[in-house]
Amino acid sequence: MFAGSFAGNGWLSPVILYVVSTNNKLMHYSGFSLLKQALTGNRGWTRAWRNLEPRKRYDVVIIGGGGHGLATAYYLAKLHGITDVAVVEKGYIGGGNTGRNTTIVRSNYMLNPNAQFYEHSMKLWEGLSQDLNYNVMFSQRGVLNLIHNDAQRDAFARRGNALRLNGIDAVMHDLDGVRKLMPHLDFSKNTRFPVQGGLAQPRGGTARHDAVAWGYARAADRLGVEIFQKCEVTGIKRKGDQVISVETTRGPIEAGQVGVAVAGNSSRLFDMVGMKLPIESHVLQAFVTEGIKPLVNTVCTFGAGHFYISQSDKGGLVFGGDIDGWNTYAQRGNLPTFNHVVAGGVTMMPCLARLRVLRQWGGVMDMSMDGTPIIGKTPIDNLYLNGGWCYGGFKATPASGWVFAHTIANDKPHALNAEFTLERFREGNIIDEKGVGASPKSH
């Protein structure tokens, strides 16, 4: 009766929703729930997702509990009504590249298939916290690519024009414009690579990486998806052109369809079905300095080397650069690459030399040969691949899950991933995005 008589009162409805949600063990996060927990000793928080034992069979098994696997499970349940889904993760949710990246989100790609796909992702990012009821801390502080010579200005102007023709925001800055955005760069004229301007995407920015994994996990779980951590796939059983089950460290699981989203481990997984992928695995490192007052207000990339930087909400400068130059599955990097990255950073912004680096880590990148992802069907009927993300898969997380779910649900790709096929390498239809995406051949 209480709920009924006050349901029309807009300001009270979050309270009512909260009460109903708590009773159903599906806690809705809101300002009211935060306040209530703060006033009651934080004892009422419920699990973000369930802790279950795997069943014998699922309609869909997604291998890999990173952002892409979890987003796929969420959109399968939310948009396609497929809820008999298991996500199996060998470590812990978000312990792979999703929780290891430098969190840059942008959609400033020039070639049409990439431009459309990443812009779709950007639009999903713009409503993601509300959609998931989880604060992914998406911050549209802009992304600025520096220009150091005339040829680069021409190439960036071309890319900026292509972006605008695709309805994507792009702003060309002269030196004064760059000075306003990044006042602490080295603007002297007698350096080897003087800054001449920059191409910006104001809607780009950063998001909190592990919150994305946790948000998708929680939202998928609420729709019935079952998530299993410490559940490594050790084998894939086939009967002819069909996968029938996956062997895991928590027992065999039969599956109607299997989606693989394991980033740097893609080639290992496909080895289990006797397939060789056009993917190389390399380690990419990230670095964080001690916390300082606001210094870097946008994401900024050096145009005369491979270096990118932003500042976290805690104040640490987050930066990265080139991959370590050899193949590995080890999630740790080496000192020579660190020296190389830092040299780029100090050339671009000399004041960085005074900071201490507090933390460093590595993630295993699934580098495709043209720098563009592979999302779609494979020669095995009910086995689907989502990989080849190179440096750029974090920003793709929402759209990647969205199109992969569509592909699995309909057994055919969506228009947005129709060109991200495996066959393109055999046919020569590669999507070679020069300059904005790294690929193994560029190193």
Ligand X SMILES: Cc1cc2nc3c(=O)[nH]c(=O)nc-3n(C[C@H](O)[C@H](O)[C@H](O)COP(=O)(O)OP(=O)(O)OC[C@H]3O[C@@H](n4cnc5c(N)ncnc54)[C@H](O)[C@@H]3O)c2cc1C
Q: Which of 207, 262, 352, 369 binds ligand X (CB under 6 A)?
A: 262
Residues whose CB is less than 8 angstroms from the CB of residue 138 and which lie 6 or more positions away in sequence, other chains included: 105, 125, 126, 128, 129, 205, 206, 207
Minimal distance, residue 386 CB to ligand X, in Å: 7
Helix axes 31-39, 13-23, angle to 10 degrees: 70
Q: Which of 103, 107, 121, 421 binds ligand X (CB under 6 A)?
A: 103
Per-residue burial over 87-102, b if 16 or more Cβ lie within 10 Å, else e, is bbbbeebbbbbbbbbb
Minimal distance, residue 344 CB to ligand X, in Å: 15
What are the DSSP calls for 282-332, one per residue?
Answer: EEEEEEEEEE-SS---SEEE-SSSSEEEEE-TTSEEEEEEEEEEEE---S-
Minimal distance, residue 156 CB to ligand X, in Å: 19
Contact code string over 355-374 relative to ligand X, x by CB under 6 A: --------x-x---------
- Specify the stretch interacting with ligand X by CB under 6 A; choose among 18-26, 109-117, 156-164, 389-397: 389-397
- The Cβ of residue 151 has, within 10 Å, a number of other Cβ atoms equal to 9
Contact positions with ligand X (CB under 6 A) in 218-247: 232-233
- Specify the stretch interacting with ligand X by CB under 6 A; choose among 13-21, 51-59, 141-149, 258-266: 258-266
Q: Which of 61, 66, 147, 160 binds ligand X (CB under 6 A)?
A: 66
- Specify the stretch interacting with ligand X by CB under 6 A; choose among 67-75, 192-200, 215-223, 435-443: 67-75
Note whether 280 binds ligand X by CB under 6 A: no
Please, what sign has the CA dihedral across residues 302, 307, 308, 312? Answer: negative
Nearest residue (CB) to ligand X, 27 versus 199 = 199
Please, what sign has the CA dihedral across residues 385, 388, 391, 396? Answer: negative
Nearest residue (CB) to ligand X, 160 versus 259 = 259
Note whether 440 binds ligand X by CB under 6 A: no
User: What is the helix, strand, coil percentage profile of the chain, to 5?
Assistant: 35, 25, 40
Note whether 77 binds ligand X by CB under 6 A: no
Please, what sign has the CA dihedral across residues 147, 194, 344, 342? Answer: negative
Q: Which positions touch ligand X (CB under 6 A)?
A: 63-69, 88-91, 95-98, 100-104, 232-233, 261-263, 265, 269, 284-286, 320, 363, 365, 389, 391-395
